[in-house]
Amino acid sequence: MIIITKPNITDDELDHLRERIEAAGLHTHLSRGEHRTIIGCIGDETRLAELPLRSIPGVESVMPVLKPYKLASREFVVNRTIVRIGEEASIGGGQLTVIAGPCSVENRAMLHATAAGVRLAGATILRGGAFKPRSSPYSFQGLGREALQLLAEARAEHGLPVVTEVLDTRDVDLVAEHSDMLQVGARNMQNYALLAELGRVQRPVLLKRGLSATISELLMSAEYIMAHGNHNVVLCERGIRTFERATRNTLDVSAIPVLQRETHLPVIVDPSHAGGDAKLVAPLAFAAIAAGADGLIIEVHPNPEVALSDGDQSLDIPSFAALMQRIPAFAAAAGRTMSPRAVLRGVAVA
């Protein structure tokens, strides 16, 4: 349930209204707009049945939220959420943000070369896998703690905030200590114990859509994180599993405008995992921007031929730089601007 207040509601009236709701055993979530304030009621709404909400001073209207996800719902928040990553980067708010880096951190030289290259090309956030959930137990599983230390070093040297995946509830604090954003991979989207733990830490979360998950299931996973206290969630469409084998996954372009309609959370796209082919990254990235994505996450490696994981879908640094030169025209056509830091690094806005 959401309560829309009158434009002239006073702070005392607002406090009184929240106290009445919380006294009934529900939690309240406040969202302030320029002219209206929305109070979201979280909990057993039947407890409000005897409460004359519309007669309480300052209340303009009361509306039920019929969707199973509440905090993630577009109805629940006045303005779209902007998620801050590190000291300067952000996702959402009309700007297009580009995250780039290797699938896996392999060694110090490779990571620093990638970080320097993507930063110069205009990326504003560095990605890199420390713990890798691979389909085969015999494939490279990542460097673990060593990779986290290397990512922290790269962040300090190149000035890029870091996002990396966390697989286990026992590693959440460790990963949060070394990174600015924690990623939940597609295979863990419905790992509810992990999602609840990520709600406890105050680090932004990048939540990838599961291989066969519906949009509603993705939003319910975001709800798990938010219900445990962390509202800094970014959603990622990375392609879903279908009968089509021409690409690694099928990029669900329609999910982007649907999510923008359903939720206030930022939505980014992973064209690397969607296509599984470096040659498909650029056209899928352009399609994502045209459909309304708030950002992209792209795999980049100094020498994809020798990459220990996902070399086929990784761009080399010159290819990534060439892509970044073309992106602003699509962003402008979609009514978005590039991150100011990207512009300063030489990615001109069309």
DSSP letter string over 144-198?
Answer: THHHHHHHHHHHHHH---EEEE---GGGHHHHHHH-SEEEE-GGGTT-HHHHHHH
The count of other CB atoms within 10 Å of the CB of residue 245 is 7
Tokens of 161: 């905030």
For the chain, domains (ranges, CATH) are 2-64 (3.30.70.1140), 83-344 (3.20.20.70)
Distance CA 45, CA 64 (A): 9
Local confidence band at 92 (pLDDT 50, 70, 90 cut-offs):
very high
Q: Is the pLDDT of residue 97 over 70?
A: yes
String of DSSP letters for 208-252: EPPTT--HHHHHHHHHHHHHTT---EEEEE--B--S--SSSSB--
- Report the pLDDT value the prediction gives residue 349, as an integer from 0 to 100: 42
- pLDDT at residue 350 tops 50: no
To the nearest whole number, what is the mean pLDDT of the chain?
91
User: Rounded to the nearest 5°, which phi and psi values hold at 246?
Assistant: -70, -25
**For the residues 190-204, what does the mean pLDDT come to?**
96
In the prediction, which pLDDT does 135 show?
A: 61
Which percentage of the chain shows pLDDT scores above 70?
94
Q: What is the pLDDT of residue 144?
A: 86
Q: What is the mean pLDDT of residues 215-244?
A: 96
Q: Determine the Cα–Cα distance for residues 5 and 53; give it in Å rounded to an integer.
A: 11
Q: Three-state SS for 38?
A: strand
Q: What number is the average pLDDT over the span 224-230?
A: 94
Q: What is the pLDDT of residues 299-335, one digit of tens each?
A: 999 999 999 989 999 999 999 999 999 999 999 999 9
Buried b (16+ CB within 10 A) or exposed e, 130-139: bbbeeeeeee
**Rounded-to-integer distance, Cα 124 and Cα 131, Å:** 22
Query: Full-prediction pTM beyond 0.85?
Result: yes
Q: Residue 1: what pLDDT?
A: 83
Lowest-pLDDT range of 77-81, 102-106, 171-175, 213-217 = 77-81
